[in-house]
């Protein structure tokens, strides 16, 4: 395993954080050849799947704040990988799109990230991969449902007062 304290080895969130760190390091290394960072790749990937998306939409998709997304977009614009255009439906909102160079870079990033994902799962059979991904989704859905319940209880005056 790792060099963690024995009491951490069995902890789910410790293992997930360890995996997240390994993914980040692998992604940084793989995308270095493409000339983009993992957050830039994620942003460009989201934009390629949602052409014309707004800054706010991309922030939600990429799990970052609108301020962080604004910084990412500004950097991608400076690198001539993303450009702002008027929304097609006449809205006042400015839409974003990949430039031709941005499309090339995200395609190259796909190849690099596919190789990272393939290597990460190579020790598992196809059935084990499906089961692993199903379990990851189940954990996410469970935690997301709990967050929704917590927000609802707070919104509904969830503060309890002691009687007496």
- Choice among 3-12, 84-93, 139-148 with the minimum mean pLDDT: 84-93
Could you read off the pLDDT of 26-57 as tens digits, one per residue? 999 999 999 999 999 999 999 999 998 989 99
- Its pTM stands at 0.78
**Assigned domain for 83 exists:** yes
**Assigned domain for 39 exists:** yes
**Assigned domain for 2 exists:** no
- Domain, as residue range, for 15: 7-123
- At residue 63, the pLDDT reads 93
Instruction: Kindly state whether residues 84 and 135 are assigned to the same domain.
Output: no
The CATH number of residue 83's host domain is: 1.10.10.10
Instruction: Kindly state whether residues 30 and 73 are assigned to the same domain.
Output: yes
Going by pLDDT thresholds of 50, 70 and 90, the confidence category of residue 161 is very low
Instruction: Kindly state whether residues 98 and 141 are assigned to the same domain.
Output: no
Could you read off the pLDDT of 105-143 as tens digits, one per residue? 999 999 999 999 999 999 999 999 999 999 999 999 999
Instruction: Kindly state whether residues 119 and 131 are assigned to the same domain.
Output: no
Three-state SS at 134: helix
Rounded to whole angstroms, the Cα distance separating 112 from 99 reads 20
Mean pLDDT of 2-16: 79
Rounded to whole angstroms, the Cα distance separating 68 from 71 reads 5
**Is residue 64 over pLDDT 70?**
yes
Distances from the Cα of 99 to the Cα of 55, 135, 149, angstroms: 16, 37, 41
**Assigned domain for 47 exists:** yes
User: Tokens 């997240």 appear where?
Assistant: 20
The fraction of the chain above a pLDDT of 90, given in percent, is 69
Instruction: Kindly state whether residues 12 and 37 are assigned to the same domain.
Output: yes
Instruction: Kindly state whether residues 57 and 101 are assigned to the same domain.
Output: yes
- At residue 33, the pLDDT reads 93
**Assigned domain for 30 exists:** yes
């Amino acid at each position: 395993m790792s060099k963690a304290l024995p009491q951490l080895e069995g902890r789910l969130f410790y293992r997930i954080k360890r995996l997240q760190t390994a993914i980040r390091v692998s992604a940084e290394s793989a995308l270095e050849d493409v000339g983009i960072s993992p957050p830039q790749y994620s942003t460009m990937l989201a934009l390629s799947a949602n052409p014309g998306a707004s800054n706010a939409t991309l922030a939600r998709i990429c799990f970052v704040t609108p301020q962080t997304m604004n910084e990412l977009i500004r950097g991608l614009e400076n690198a001539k990988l993303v450009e702002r255009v008027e929304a097609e439906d006449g809205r006042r909102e400015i839409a974003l799109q990949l430039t031709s160079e941005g499309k090339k870079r995200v395609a190259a990033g796909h190849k690099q990230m596919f190789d990272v994902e393939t290597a990460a799962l190579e020790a598992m059979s196809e059935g084990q991969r499906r089961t692993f991904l199903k379990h990851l989704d189940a954990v996410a859905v469970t935690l997301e449902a709990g967050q929704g319940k917590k927000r609802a209880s707070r919104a509904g005056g969830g503060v309890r007062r002691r009687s007496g």
